[in-house]
Structure 1
Amino acid sequence: MSVNVLFAAKPDRWAEYERPLRDAIAARGITAHIAMDIPADQVDYIVYAPNSEVKDFAPFTRTKAVLNLWAGVEAIVGNPTLHLPLTRMVDPALTQGMIEWVTGHILRLHLGMDAHISATPGTWEPKAPPLAFDTRVTVLGLGELGTACAAALAGLGFQITGWSRSQKQIDGITCLSGAQGLDKALSRADYCVLLLPSTAATENVLDARALALMPKGARILNPGRGPLIDDAALLAALETNQIDHATLDVFRVEPLPQEHPYWTHAKVTVTPHVASETRAAYSAKTIAENIHRGETGAPFLHLVDRNAGY
């Protein structure tokens, strides 16, 4: 088997991905010409980052699939010229990174670490933190990342409720769906973790009404997508103590503008979109597997549902 693979991403990513891609594709028994400058009518597969310069897919007449480098596809799924199979990135490192960020920040808040780290020397206030057994966490979004984070938190003893658009059944997790299910999931969220895709249906899923449904003093973590939160509503809820703290990794505009009130708010932690990262050594294997599937007639992994938007 021999294929032409166009790497359509920012040039600085090429140095990171060139060797892992060549090695991973070769390991699947495929001879590949991989480059950033292959003529469109000669491309078999596109390894794609939505911030690349490729926006018109019409010239790619023999291309079999667009293999997205990112977990999120909202920046490409609506492209009117794209009629090719589109896959999203799922790999063990991406999942593990998200598990570590979510569990780390929940445990930081749950154990009250900030108070001990910033305490005045000599302060001795032996107040024991709550137990995970008595703490409820709601995970909005039960895709690959949401399910993995929910399972990890359940393993630590937290009471886990998960919500998704369609009903799911996952051992150890109370699964809810639909509008009424969302209200119920929010009402039991001492912590709410947002891992939904960004679609028209999920924009502002945490608006003023939703925030009011949560227990007084709830905490929010958003490593998913910026538009999931109504920023003005969240800031208002923080001021009234309806929400005790928000740890935010993603934003509507990135980098987060310096004048944004999140930067200086005492109840907000900003992290610079680092909750999880696509790592070449792992993601190259996912790409190679999908190229092998395309060449052998097997179904692609992680195929995007255009109607759902993810």
Structure 2
Amino acid sequence: MLLNILFAARAERWTTYEQPLRDALRDAGIKANLSMDIAPSEVDYIVYAPNSELQDFTPYTRAKAVLNLWAGVEKITGNKTLKIPLARMVDPGLTKGMVEWVTGHVMRYHLGLDIDILNTSTDWTPRTPPLAQERKVGMLGMGALGTEAAKTLAILGFDIAGWSRSLKSQPGIKCFDGEDGLQDILARSEILVLLLPDTPATENTIDQAALAKMPKGAFIINPGRGPLIDDDALISALDSGQIAHATLDVFRTEPLPAQHPYWAHPKVTVTPHIAAETRAVTASQMIVQNIQRGETGQPFLHLVDRTLGY
């Protein structure tokens, strides 16, 4: 049987993904017509990016699933024309990239590397940073990305705690849930990493009250979603010294506008949404794995619960 697989994303993505997807389909023994131009009534699967021109799924009466190219699904979960299963992207390459980025920035703050890298003084006073076991790190969000990052930090010896909507269990990681748990993890986190999804329930999780709850001089790292942070509250906390520094990779508006105060703030590091990117080869393998599952009657992996938004 020949499957019709529609690639519904921008043209530059097609250039990147066409060959890796064809290779993955061939390796899986799947015969398919992979194209950006297939009649809606003939489509079996949709490989999708939320910024695609395809926004009305009503004509795709034969399609069995929408397989998202992105980890984030907040731009599609509210689409009322989408009635078939939606799978988010959990890409091993993306996960490894996120783990490396988070680990690097945690280590930067833990060891105080800026003092030596910037060389802002000639002070020769020796200093001994604490060991990882003496540093309390918090992970808000214990999904696939947050869990893997937390596990790596635990291997390095950090006193790591994780918070999630529903309680998780991971060896070597203190796990919290619920509002009381959120307050507990905020109060203990000298370095806080944000890897929550973008939903109405998570917007402004880091607001004035949350920042005040954290230890004075704490650090914030956000590779998750821009709306998790109340920007004005964070700038105020940085100005007062309540928060020592923030590394931000995601923002409410991207690219970050040139006039935004984050650019010029001496206690903010801006990175241009580079913490993790889907890798075409490994992402294509994951997409084809889900197509295989759909064709053999197995449940799709990484299905989105649209009532929760992730």
Interval containing the TM-score (normalised by the shorter chain)? over 0.9
User: Residues 266-277 of structure 1 correspond to what in structure 2 (within 5 A)?
Assistant: 266-277=266-277
Find the aligned partners of 2:296 and 2:213 in 1 and give their Cα distance: 50
Q: RMSD between aligned alpha carbons? A: 1.0
* Equivalence for 1:171: 171
Distance 2:307 2:13 in 1: 30
Residue 307 of structure 1 deviates from its aligned partner by: 1.1
Residue 147 (1) aligns with residue 142 (2): no
Shift of 1:123: 4.8
Correspondence 1:18 to 2:18: yes
Of the structure 1 ranges 89-98 and 109-118, higher mean CA displacement relative to structure 2 is found in: 109-118
Q: Which amino acid aligns with 2:190?
A: D
* Residue ranges of structure 2 left out of the alignment (5+ in a row): none
Deviations, residues 3-47 of structure 1 (Å, cap 9, x unaligned): 111111110111110010011012111101111111111111000
Identity of aligned residues (%): 63
Which residue of the partner structure matches residue 294 of structure 2?
294
Gaps of 5+ in 1: none
| Aligned equivalent of 1:79 | 79
Tell me the alpha carbon deviations over residues 93-133 of structure 1, each in whole angstroms, 9 at most, x when there is no partner.
Answer: 11100000000011112111111112158653321222111
Q: Secondary structure at the match of 1:247?
A: strand
Alignment of 1:27-176 (within 5 A): 27-119=27-119, 123-176=123-176
How do residues 276-291 of structure 1 correspond to structure 2 at under 5 angstroms? 276-291=276-291
CA deviations 1:177-214 (Å, max 9, x no partner) are: 00001000100000110000000000000010111110
- Matched to 2:9, the amino acid is A
Paired residues, number? 310
Give the letter aligned to residue 108 of structure 1.
R
Q: Measure, in 2, the Cα distance between the counterparts of 1:114 and 1:15.
A: 39
Give the counterpart letter for 2:182 in structure 1. L
SS of the counterpart of 1:256? Answer: coil
Residues 70-89 of structure 1: per-residue CA shift (max 9 Å, x gap): 00100001101111100000
> Residues 292 and 244 of structure 1: is their aligned pair in 2 closer, same or farther, counting only changes over 3 Å?
same
- Work out the CA distance in 1 between the residues paired with 2:152 and 2:211: 25
SS for the counterpart of 1:263 is helix
How far did 1:157 drift?
0.8
Do structure 1's residue 213 and structure 2's residue 200 form an aligned pair?
A: no
- State the distance in 1 between where 2:226 and 2:195 align: 11
Q: CA deviation at 1:134?
A: 0.6
The 4+ residue runs of structure 1 with deviation greater than 6 A are none
Corresponding residue of 2:9: 9
Task: Give the aligned partner of residue 198 of structure 1.
Answer: 198
